Amino acid sequence: MEPAERATSNLINNLGSLLQDQGDLDGAEALLREALEGCRETLGDRHPNTLGSVNNLGMLLKKKGDLDGAEALYREALAASRETLGDRHPSTLTSISNLGLLLKAQGDLDGAEPLYREDLAASRETLGDRHPNTLTSINNLGLLLKDQGDLDGAEALYREALAAKRETLGDRHPSTLTSINNLGMLLKKKGDLDGAEALYREALAGRRETLGDRHPDTLTSINNLGLLLKDQGDLDGAEPLLRESLAAKRETLGDRHPNTLTSINNLGSLLQDQGDLDGAEALFREALAAQRETLGDRHPNTLTSINNLGSLLQDQGDLDGAEALFREALAARRETLGDRHPDTLDLVYGLGMLLQTQGRLGDAIPLFREDLEGFTARYGKGHEETQSSARNLVEVLTEAGRQREADEIAATYSV
């Protein structure tokens, strides 16, 4: 490539990156494709500049949500880097990491894992166990194992990364505080609420001190600790934290921001648990109205709010109002997720329970049957969710005087 051509290619790439930063992804894509085509034509498919353009376009497509298009480019860049630079070159490791992260985003955790492990092994070998890039790789693999359900494997990696960051960066560095928070979240998921609380309190104190009370990371820590205390049953301890989080988000993000609406729902759930049903209702109605307006009636967050308000109305004794909301949420879940999705089945069960409370066993039983069939198809007869659903249906059939059907279900599912 002549100097003038190289300068032109660089200019096109730079302009594409600028448009991407400005949010003009379609304009950026056209320029990045032009730059890549120019590099392929003048430099060939294996030149470092070409591979840089391949990677840049892949990153843009990922940002646009075209994960299949991005995957093809990432695989091309990785294969070429392995061939021309070797398995341990920094550019190759970047490509390994990019492809692994993409596969994780696609939900292909098994495909991502060997890439994550290769990236980490290479980083340990070439950079050492304490290098920031190695610590990032440790954290990435920990997150993947967490998503795969290997909580013990994830915990070991989280603890390693945190110990290294405490040693090299100090206890108050933002990266250290992030690792403290991540380990806290993992311990919470494992059921170690006391261990999680200690970490959440440390992360919150560090973020208040270094970032201030209104920084988004601080607000995340405030919210995390508040929800943890709620889970521990310390509702009085949780309330001031959830109120502080909500007030700060209203002030910094506005009343309609998704994060604000999440905080409104969180505080509403706390008030419901405290028995302040009127206070909870006002918050749930505010969140639902805003989500209908900004996200639409079928958005998952809107459906969660519909379900929250329905549960509250049920607690208040407004069973007709609750039923209307549960039926709306269920219809939307069927439409957007399908009949066998766990979220759909949860709503099927919830509506069945409401109808049972109203004494409408004839209407409730078909829903409980659907719930059981759905869990059987998804998990098999021996799964705890399926077994619980079967026991519930047996009890309702017995209550309705349909003992023969109850006995058949009991025998089929050994409950």
Per-residue pLDDT of 284-316, as tens digits, reads 999 999 999 999 999 999 999 999 999 999 999
How many folded domains does the chain comprise?
1
Is 236 within the bounds of a domain? no
Is 287 within the bounds of a domain? no
How many H helices and E strands in the chain? Answer: 20, 0
* Span 360-401, pLDDT tens digits: 999 999 999 999 999 999 999 999 999 999 999 999 999 999
pLDDT on residue 7: 56
Q: How confident is the model at residue 72 (pLDDT cuts 50, 70, 90)?
A: very high
pLDDT on residue 17: 77
The range of the structural domain enclosing residue 84 comes to 1-106
Q: How far apart are CA 24 and CA 27, in angstroms?
A: 5
Is 45 within the bounds of a domain? yes
Helix axes 216-231, 193-211, angle to 10 degrees: 160
Angstrom CA distances, 316 to 276, 285, 309, 311, stand at: 10, 14, 10, 9
Is 167 within the bounds of a domain? no
> Is pLDDT at 351 greater than 90 in this prediction?
yes
Q: Hunting for tokens 């049972």 — which residue is that?
A: 356
pLDDT on residue 1: 46
Question: What is the domain-level CATH number for residue 76?
Answer: 1.25.40.10
pLDDT on residue 18: 80
Asked if 291 contacts 309 with a C-beta cutoff of 8 angstroms, the reply is: no
Q: How far apart are CA 267 and CA 46, in angstroms?
A: 55
The pLDDT of 336-362, averaged and rounded, is 95
Count CB atoms within 10 A of the CB of residue 53: 27
DSSP 216-243: HHHHHHHHHHHHHHHHTT-HHHHHHHHH
> Is pLDDT at 196 greater than 60 in this prediction?
yes
> Is pLDDT at 8 greater than 80 in this prediction?
no
Is 252 within the bounds of a domain? no
Q: How confident is the model at residue 15 (pLDDT cuts 50, 70, 90)?
A: confident
Is 115 within the bounds of a domain? no
Is 221 within the bounds of a domain? no
Which residues touch 380 (CB under 8 Å, ≥6 apart)? 386
Is 53 within the bounds of a domain? yes
**Mean pLDDT of the residues in the chain:** 94
> Is pLDDT at 212 greater than 80 in this prediction?
yes
Q: Hunting for tokens 């994060």 — which residue is that?
A: 259
Provide the 3-class DSSP secondary structure of residue 288.
helix
Q: In this structure, what token pair is assigned to residue 400?
A: 């309705």
pLDDT on residue 22: 82
* Span 73-83, pLDDT tens digits: 999 999 999 99
For CA atoms 31, 33, 35, 38, give the dihedral sign: negative
Q: Burial level of 52, CB count in 10 A (0-12/13-18/19+)?
A: middle
